[in-house]
Amino acid sequence: MSSVAIIGAGMGGLMAGNLLAGKGHKVTLFESHSMPGGYTAGFWRKGYYFESGTLSFEMSSQIFPAMRDIGVYDKIEFVRQIARWVSPDYDFVMHSMDDMKKSILKAYPSEKGRLLKYFAEVDRVCDIYRGLEKPNTFLNKITFPFRMSRFVNMVRKYGRMTSSEFAGLYFEKGSKVYYTFKDVGYPDMPAMIVPAAFMSFLDDYWTVKTGMQSWADVLAENFRKLGGELKLKSKVEKILTKEGAAIGVTCEGKDYMADYVLSASDYKKTFLDLLDNRSLLSNDFVEKMQNAAVSEGFFTVYLGLNISREKMQKYLKVPHILYGDCDPPGPDMGDATDERFFEKVWLSAYSPSLINEELAPKGKSSLMISCMVPFRWMNNWGGGDRKVYKELKEKAKRVLIKRFSSIVPDLEKHIEFEDAATPLTYERYTANSSGASSAWSWNPHKWFYKSPNVTKIDTPVKNLFISSCWAYEFGGIPTTIKAAYMCAERIT
């Protein structure tokens, strides 16, 4: 059996640790934070629970079997997540594609012809995706090449087209309906993912009833039971190499030797900060990493409210809301100097206590209001000036609270606890470059990998593998778990 050092106890590190320890390997998992989870984590403040990052996930057909593989599925209570879309023109809970179609068509009757063409194409692409998921019957095996051919053609057509460009094929740029669909998901993500995003919202959107942190805790406990060693508050300082191969890590001045090293942490920092021998990397590789774009970061407001669960249910209807209350055009995600950015951006609101009343004190509710923000907004939140940082953070917090008061009346008056996180906060706790929320940029014009649909765990350093969402262009729990499986299979 081999000895393995894993950097980072997020979902990728925990999953790889469980798979490898289950095979009998000697595994040590290093986590700089005081608790496991990474972005799949949460925290308590004054009796209120909040998610640290990830709110939901999709592709349960991959995730649930993975939890069964390591024997923890029955210890985690997964529940469906339903989203509500709210704007001055429409308000609907997305129980089905028809819900969205009827509401949008009613809101923009003059755009009916364009909308019907747009929805027809979205439906066609959704049908292609669903065709790949058909049961493994004899007939489906015969028709699989045809279904795969349709998928490949769709990727060729839409893989390098952005969501904005896709919306522009059907709607007049500058129109309200154009701005409704141009930024579904991540800004300017591939057009081929837009229908998949709708499918996820409708058919396969999940969360954990007891909070994401409980999921991470279950995985950590199982890892320990399998004989793995989890070292919290243990920041890895170096990845040790010899003759071009990884041979261990240095943590708090002590060397831990290993046959393999898995990085379940930020890709850029793995090579630019941790690797002990930069000469193992080509100049082109280093330059590519330095210039590579990462996914957008978030600004999040955390609120503990003296509002009953029943009233919060009346206001929100469902735990998760996508909310836009401003006329187009929206803000420019590429403009880091826009002081009024938070007045114009779409918001996401989530109430953990509506999923589970035990996640807030009795008779009270929790609420998170968040939005994506431009990279290094306002000179990276004050250019290192702590006073300016606090002022910018407070101003953004107040703007989001004021805007969401149209959904929760007199929101400001009901606050018992409040805090906020900027991309700098997320970077501090997760070590993700620029507070990246989902690994590399989703924009097809900025991709790090040439083939974004391929999971790549290999690195220029022998016996050093990537076991996180950074092994795939589009981060997320499903891609993270796939990378963990590939790493476990590679180590025999």
Residue 87 falls within a domain, yes or no?
A: no
The whole-number pLDDT of residue 32 equals 95
Q: Please say whether the dihedral angle defined by the alpha carbons of residues 43, 48, 53 and 59, taken in this order, is positive or negative.
A: positive
Residue range 21-28: mean pLDDT, rounded: 97
408 and 318 housed in the same domain: yes
Task: Judge whether 29 lies within some domain.
Answer: yes
Structural domain span for residue 253: 3-36+210-292+448-490
Give residue-wise pLDDT tens across range 166-180. 999 999 998 999 988
Is 215 contained in some domain? yes
Enumerate residues 6+ apart whose C-beta is below 8 A from 472. 439, 449, 452, 454, 455, 456, 479, 482, 483
Q: Please determine, for residue 355, whether its predicted confidence score (pLDDT) is greater than 80.
A: yes
In this structure, are 370 and 334 located in the same domain? Answer: yes
Domain match, 355 and 268 both: no
Q: Say whether both 427 and 483 belong to one domain.
A: no
Among residues 301, 306, 300, which one has the least CA distance to residue 410? 306
Cis peptide leading into residue 374 (ω within 30°): no
Residues 399 and 327 in one domain: yes
For residues 245 and 167, membership in a common domain is answered with: no
Alpha-carbon distance of 276 to 269, in angstroms, equals 12
Range scoring the smallest mean pLDDT among 7-11, 197-201, 334-338, 438-442: 197-201
The pLDDT score that the predictor gives to residue 128 is: 87
Q: What is the 3-state secondary structure (H, E, C) of 131-180?
A: HCCCCCCHHHHHHHHHHHHHHHHHHHHHCCCEHHHHHHCCCCCCCHHHHH
Report whether 328 contacts 269 (CB < 8 A).
Answer: no
Pair 427, 452 in one domain: no
Mean predicted lDDT score pLDDT of the chain: 93
Q: From CA 289, how far away is CA 121, in angstroms rounded? A: 36
End-to-end CA distance of the chain: 8
Q: What is the dihedral of CA 231, 474, 329, 435, to 10 degrees?
A: 20
State the CATH number of the domain containing residue 29: 3.50.50.60
Domain shared by 25 and 119, yes or no = no
Q: Which of 286, 319, 348, 264 is nearest to 29 (CA)?
A: 264
Are both 428 and 360 inside the same structural domain? yes
Averaged pLDDT, 269-279: 95
Mean pLDDT calculated for residue range 384-407? 97
| End position of a domain, from candidates 203, 232, 252 | 203
Same domain, 217 and 174: no
Reported as a pLDDT band with limits 50, 70 and 90, residue 155 is confident
- Output the pLDDT for position 138: 62
* pLDDT of 78 above 90: yes
* 41, part of any domain: no
DSSP state at residue 109: G
> Is residue 55 included in any domain, yes or no?
no
| 78 belongs to a structural domain | no
* Domain boundary residue, one of 188, 203, 218: 203
Determine, yes or no, domain membership for 443.
Answer: no
pLDDT > 70: percent of the chain: 98
Tell me: pLDDT of 96 over 90: no
For residue 269, give both structure tokens: 């920092």
- In this predicted model, what pLDDT tens digit does every residue of 410-423 receive, in sequence order? 999 999 999 999 99
pLDDT at residue 135 tops 70: no
Residue 350 has a CB neighbour count (10 Å cut-off) of 24
370 assigned to some structural domain: yes
Task: Specify the pLDDT at position 374.
Answer: 94
The pLDDT, as a whole number, for residue 2 is 95
Distance of CA 195 to the CA centre of its chain: 18
- Judgement on whether residues 373 and 455 belong to the same structural domain of the protein: no
Number of compact structural domains in the chain: 3
Distances (CA, A) of 490 to 16, 446, 466: 11, 29, 11
pLDDT surpassing 90 at residue 132: no
In this predicted structure, what is the pLDDT of residue 298?
96
Same domain, 169 and 129: yes
- Given 203, 229, 253, the domain boundary residue is 203
